[in-house]
């Protein structure tokens, strides 16, 4: 088989992913998986990439900028990981994508030594859309 034949008869992973992300439930699980990664390693990159992918699937960064009122070039930079988003911007971006975050209490660890802020996972955050919800970590 030659390269031309393979390219003609296959689709790219990214194209398939963007098509799948048009489904709100799939997009929710995708964002939750990225949030779980963030809880484990504290690295925002996978969460920002997931948000960017969902934005691309839903019409692009320009459309998201119009929906949220955020500056388009700043939004590109945030979702490319060049800037860490402030909480209000993160919530605005998620809202523009059709999602919200809800907090939930963690289990009480009074018998154990209380971990420092750096050691505490961000467990209990849920991402919701149109009445769908799933606890992160379920």
Residue 132, pLDDT score? 47
> Using CA atoms, how far apart are residues 47 and 32, in angstroms rounded to an integer?
9
Residue 4, pLDDT score? 79
Residue 136, pLDDT score? 46
Residue 33, pLDDT score? 93
The DSSP string of 67-134 is HHT--HHHHHHHHTTSSPPPHHHHHHHHHHTT-EEE--PPPP-TTSPPPPGGGS--TT-EEEETTEEE
Residue 105, pLDDT score? 84
Residue 138, pLDDT score? 45
Residue 102, pLDDT score? 84
Task: Tell me the pLDDT of the chain (138 aa) as tens digits.
Answer: 677 777 676 778 888 999 999 999 999 999 999 998 988 888 888 899 999 999 999 999 999 999 999 999 999 999 998 988 889 999 999 999 999 988 878 777 665 555 555 555 554 556 666 544 444 444
């Amino acid at each position: 088989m030659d390269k031309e034949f393979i390219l003609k008869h296959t689709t790219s992973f990214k194209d398939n992913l963007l098509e799948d992300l048009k489904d709100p439930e799939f997009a929710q699980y995708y964002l939750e998986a990225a949030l779980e990664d963030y809880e484990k390693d504290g690295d925002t990159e996978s969460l920002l990439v997931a948000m960017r992918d969902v934005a691309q699937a839903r019409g692009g960064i320009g459309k998201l900028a119009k929906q949220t009122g955020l500056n388009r070039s700043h939004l590109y930079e945030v979702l490319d990981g060049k800037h860490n988003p402030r909480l209000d911007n993160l919530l605005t971006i998620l809202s523009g994508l059709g999602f919200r975050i809800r907090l939930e209490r963690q289990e009480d660890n009074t018998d154990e030594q209380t971990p420092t802020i750096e050691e505490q996972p961000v467990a209990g955050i849920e991402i919701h859309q149109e009445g769908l919800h799933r606890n992160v970590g379920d």
